[in-house]
Structure 1
Amino acid sequence: MKSDNATMDEARKKLYTYWHELDFFSEKESTYIGQVRQSEVKWFIIKYIRDGIEDEFGKENDLPRRHAFSAKELHEAYINSSAGEKCTLSNFHFHIKDLVEHGLLREVAKILEGRHYTTYYGRTSIAFLDQYDAPLQSRIGQDFFEPLKRVIQDMNPDLEFDHISQLVDDNLASIRDFYSRLISWIEVKYPHLYKSKIDLDMLMRIFGHYSFFHKELYDSSEKIASLIDLDKIMSYEQYELD
């Protein structure tokens, strides 16, 4: 039989290894994701877990960064952060419980430390996508591209609607193809992305602007832009952004 120490060591290794068994993306409820992004405490928790830390146990056992933490560890890290607002440990437990209930966090392991078991929390996926921002979400066609067809028709009354509809549908298909390929790229390049601690949520948003490498998407986007005068954007006055 394995000794208690060996069993605890195996449980502790999960704090490091589980991360590399996670799905890259999962879709979460839009309103809640917005709340998490606006909550300093919740955002700190999921970011800290994503970034992970290197520690002595990991180095001794040749493990990657640790991505699961106890509530006490997360609270101490938050208090020590420069921007941390006041938050008691009990309130921190509340935020963690809420993240668990909404499927962003889960219990990774319970480890006996002294006379009591300590619960370690980790993420349920490497990145979280707002259900309405998800690039492969079918609703994107209903929520944006159908009205876009009407905008183009209103600005170009001489064009047949069937032609406009096909152009926009082709554009949507190319967008989905681009993001499908981008996700494949992320999976292949993840060892490099992992080292940098880059935020995959933000990467998806920023790299969406690199879609000019997708010829079909570039061509259809250029045609749509010209039909709504977006190609003349540089002639418009700059608007001061906060």
Structure 2
Amino acid sequence: MDDSLYDLRTDFSLRHLQKTKDQKKLLELACGTGIQSVRFAQAGFDVTGLDLSQEMLDVAEKRAASAKVKVDFLQGNMLDLSRAGKYDFVTCYSDSICYMQDEVEAGDVFKEVYNALNDGGVFIFDVHSTYQIDEVFPGYSYHENADDFAMIWDSYEDEAPHSVVHELTFFIQDEDGRFTRFDEVHEERTYDVLTYDILLEQAGFSSFKLYADSEDKEPTETSKRWFFVCEK
């Protein structure tokens, strides 16, 4: 991930999360290797990062220790936050909601987040726009070459409406100079704004605001990413 993306998301978050002395507990869902969690901790939040992958959390713990900030990391599924505790703020970035299998699962995540939030709490998440999924990704191809690393990324339209498949191949050089190949398949799906509106309302959120591309502006027909700021 480009570091500038984390800068943009941090700035966006700080504009919409009004931290106070009594309200600063933040849960970051799908925290991965902890880059965003560390940014939040450095900004003064009391951060807990949750991710499905223990391997990523192991990296995240080392990253937080290196940055000399305190972050609690939990291995878990955002479809079940019953043991995660209560928070003033919850974030879920990097289109992680788009990895849910269907709108039922997406709605279940929203319900779990709602239950994990204190009254007046704020939930921020981003998703791919329908334009990004339907027009930009199909046929997309990206290749990167370095001395010790290579990546091939190809995207294809999937069967479900507003869905896409990303096929990624990595070649990583080990200490002996040999390259090992790793393959990953990522399936993502998004929905129109009305669907997200209904799912958030069903989860109990009293209101939400919609922005585009990490900026405080309304989406256009060609906005690639939608940001939702929801209040309990």
What TM-score do you get using the length of structure 2 for normalisation?
0.21
* Greater RCO (CA < 8 Å, at least 6 residues apart): 1
Higher strand share: 2
Higher helix share: 1
What TM-score do you get using the length of structure 1 for normalisation?
0.20
In our comparison, the structure showing a higher alpha carbon Rg is: 1
